[in-house]
Structure 1
Amino acid sequence: MAEALNAPTETANAHAESFLRDACATLDRLRAMRPAFQRPSAGKRIRTAFDLADECLGISVEKEALLLRQALADRQNLAAATSAALLRLAGLEMGYRRTRGYPAVAQSGDWLQNEQFVARNSDLKKWAESALYMSAAPANWTGRIAQALFGLAAGAAMAFAVAAAILANRWFPAESIPWAILIVISYILKDRIKEWLRGGFLRILPKMISDRMRDLIDPKTGRWVGRTREWVEFPAPSAVPAWASPLAAGEFNALRREIPPDDVARYQKDIRIQAARLRRAHSRMNSITEILRLSLDAWRERMDDPCERLRFVEEGRVCEEIANRVYPIGLALRFSEKRQGGRHLIRRGTLFVTRDRIARIVIEPTPEGGIAGGGAAR
């Protein structure tokens, strides 16, 4: 759709007509297979899956047709005949779903029906994408390692206390004052040794073991096909590497240097996939998509009102405007291959968010040398 929006009128109409042809051909080929799926031998679950796919695809075509028609009409890039064809396609799809008895049909003035339509559309999307997701099961051995290390710390401290008790009995008479002093000191040091060791293990543990580890399970075969490990830390701004630091210069950075630095969060995820095992079960698979979701709820609660009324003088008169109050969140992403000589890709951008929404996303051009080889970096 982006190509059609930015194209000249003739090219935009060609994109719209191509969409019409492809959408109609796809729907016709899918629905031509209905008799085969409706045979009693196919089973109820297969028949239900076909109806869900038919309903889901019809909704997608209707939605995209209306969006394309509106977007091109706003830019006066759409011929009347093409506009009418897109509108007719959307109307036919709605009528088809109503004829088939599918529940996902919107209706003017019926708020309950429209609410159910949104919920149904969301459920259909989840159903359609469910086949694309691998299951993630927590890996329990990381917790066992942590408990083993803490037990080791307690054991080392207890060993010190036992050794001190043996030496006290050997050097001093039992229940004498020197014996009692040594026993008390040994127990004080035992507790301190235990805490020192626990603190040391806690400092090195994140480097050895991830904050969260999950096993990836192929839902088709139920077999283990990979593992993900995730780390989160909050380093000091001075520890941010050069490739992740702001590149802009000028007054903005001069001001930023005079105010307290922003908080920095570093998130790292390591993904290891058994590609050969996946290919044997999914011969048509050509890529895997990783979806990363960031929850901004805790930050949004502390944000000010999303809009501010501005008053200013322009050409001798007072003007008023409503301006967004945005908070920029800088993002620096580095994708690396772990194998020897693997490539890495650096992408940078900024999220401008308000308390209500994401106002815009600005992606910086890939810097020179943003894609490189010669070893992976964490």
Structure 2
Amino acid sequence: ADLKKWSQSIMYLHPKYSALPRRIGQVSAGVAAAIAMTFATIASIYAENFYMKNSMQWALIVIIAYVFKDRIKEWLRILLSRFIPRLMAEEMYTFKSPRRGISLAKCRNFVRFYTPDNIKEEIILKRKKDNNPFYDLLPEEQILCFTRDIQICPYPKRKDEEDIQPWVKKLAIVDKINISDFLTEMEDVSAVHYYSSLDQIYSTEIIKNYNIHLIIDSHDFSTDQSELSHYLVLINKDGIVRIEQV
């Protein structure tokens, strides 16, 4: 097993993560904090000039300035994240050739929470194809949208270099999602179900299961083609029970 793993290790690439998202987040947070602090400072100067220190009016203005300072910082952070969404990716990384160090592909990951009103109609229709007659009666679902943008880099051929074929045409990326914290917070609900068979009464324990609808939208921008896949993930307190395609 170790020999097989070692011999196949050349087929695997390790991503090189970029520090740009973290730096952009720090800069935007700093700008928002600076603007909010400017408002609080101006309010404090106004209170000092027009009211006696430690008076009721002075304390009221300082408290209001402190409250608005915190809110302004949060509002600006949300506003900046909306205006520069492509720079606010949670992760940015590059796959490079281990032999020559040439960039093979660039990837960006985005994680957002949406409501059904903000999701494409074809995805909602794909979700409803599980033939659940009570779908319209269920509470509004909260949708976690994970987006990965993959760009295959062209081969940087030099003038004195012959063509090397084939170049990278596709990548298979394996995602590992840690749901241990989610399982810890999950309710361990079970019930005893009684049934009869051949004049005998039996009991069995039924563990509550949760359904997670996983819809994968694969879009190729070079050909403008999309493919939707719908999977149902059944989980309980012990972990994933099964995954079935809808």
TM-score (norm 2): 0.69
Q: Which residue of structure 1 lines up, in the alignment, with residue 188 of structure 2?
A: 304
Q: Which residue of structure 1 lines up, in the alignment, with residue 196 of structure 2?
A: 313
* AA in 1 matched with 2:128: L
Q: Which moved more, 1:260-269 or 1:309-318?
A: 309-318
Q: Which residue of structure 2 lines up, in the alignment, with residue 295 of structure 1?
A: 178
CA 1:193 to 1:337, structure 2 compared with 1: closer, same or farther past 3 Å? farther
Give the match's secondary structure for 1:335: strand
Give the match's secondary structure for 1:148: helix
Alpha carbons 1:161, 1:187 under 8 Å: kept: no
Give the match's secondary structure for 1:135: coil
Counterpart pick for 1:360 among 221, 242, 246: 242
How many residues get paired?
231
Q: Which residue of structure 2 lines up, in the alignment, with residue 137 of structure 1?
A: 16
For 2:167 and 2:218, locate their aligned partners in 1 and report how far apart those are by CA, in whole Å.
25
1:348 aligns with 2:230: yes
How far has the Cα of 1:210 moved from its partner? 0.7
Counterpart pick for 1:226 among 105, 121, 124: 105
How far has the Cα of 1:139 moved from its partner? 1.0
CA 1:282 to 1:177, structure 2 compared with 1: closer, same or farther past 3 Å? same
Alpha carbons 2:152, 2:168 under 8 Å: kept: no
* AA in 1 matched with 2:72: W
* AA in 2 matched with 1:148: V
1:217 aligns with 2:99: no
How far has the Cα of 1:140 moved from its partner? 1.2
Q: Which moved more, 1:292-301 or 1:311-320?
A: 311-320
CA 1:296 to 1:243, structure 2 compared with 1: closer, same or farther past 3 Å? farther
For 1:303 and 1:204, locate their aligned partners in 2 and report how far apart those are by CA, in whole Å.
37
Which has the larger Rg?
1
CA 1:338 to 1:197, structure 2 compared with 1: closer, same or farther past 3 Å? farther
For 1:353 and 1:176, locate their aligned partners in 2 and report how far apart those are by CA, in whole Å.
63
Alpha carbons 1:213, 1:227 under 8 Å: kept: yes
CA 1:315 to 1:197, structure 2 compared with 1: closer, same or farther past 3 Å? same
Alpha carbons 1:153, 1:194 under 8 Å: kept: no
Superposed, which structure 2 residues align to 1:323-342 within 5 Å? 325-339=208-222, 342=224
Q: Which residue of structure 1 lines up, in the alignment, with residue 6 of structure 2?
A: 127
TM-score (norm 1): 0.48
Give the match's secondary structure for 1:127: helix
CA 1:353 to 1:164, structure 2 compared with 1: closer, same or farther past 3 Å? closer
CA 1:220 to 1:282, structure 2 compared with 1: closer, same or farther past 3 Å? farther
For 2:41 and 2:200, locate their aligned partners in 1 and report how far apart those are by CA, in whole Å.
87
How far has the Cα of 1:195 moved from its partner? 4.7
1:202 aligns with 2:202: no
1:264 aligns with 2:146: no
* AA in 2 matched with 1:247: K
CA 1:128 to 1:309, structure 2 compared with 1: closer, same or farther past 3 Å? farther
Q: Deviations over 1:79-130 (max 9, x none)?
A: xxxxxxxxxxxxxxxxxxxxxxxxxxxxxxxxxxxxxxxxxx3x44543442
* AA in 1 matched with 2:244: V
For 2:11 and 2:109, locate their aligned partners in 1 and report how far apart those are by CA, in whole Å.
21
How far has the Cα of 1:266 moved from its partner? 1.3
* AA in 2 matched with 1:225: L
Alpha carbons 2:155, 2:167 under 8 Å: kept: no
* AA in 2 matched with 1:144: R
Q: Deviations over 1:35-60 (max 9, x none)?
A: xxxxxxxxxxxxxxxxxxxxxxxxxx
Q: Which residue of structure 2 lines up, in the alignment, with residue 253 of structure 1?
A: 133
Q: Looking at secondary structure, tell me which structure has more helix per residue.
A: 1
How far has the Cα of 1:343 moved from its partner? 0.9
Q: Looking at secondary structure, tell me which structure has more strand per residue.
A: 2
Unmatched 5+ stretches in structure 2: 158-162
Q: Which residue of structure 1 lines up, in the alignment, with residue 160 of structure 2?
A: none
Alpha carbons 2:44, 2:61 under 8 Å: kept: no
How far has the Cα of 1:338 moved from its partner? 3.1
Unmatched 5+ stretches in structure 1: 1-120, 169-174, 365-378
How far has the Cα of 1:176 moved from its partner? 5.9
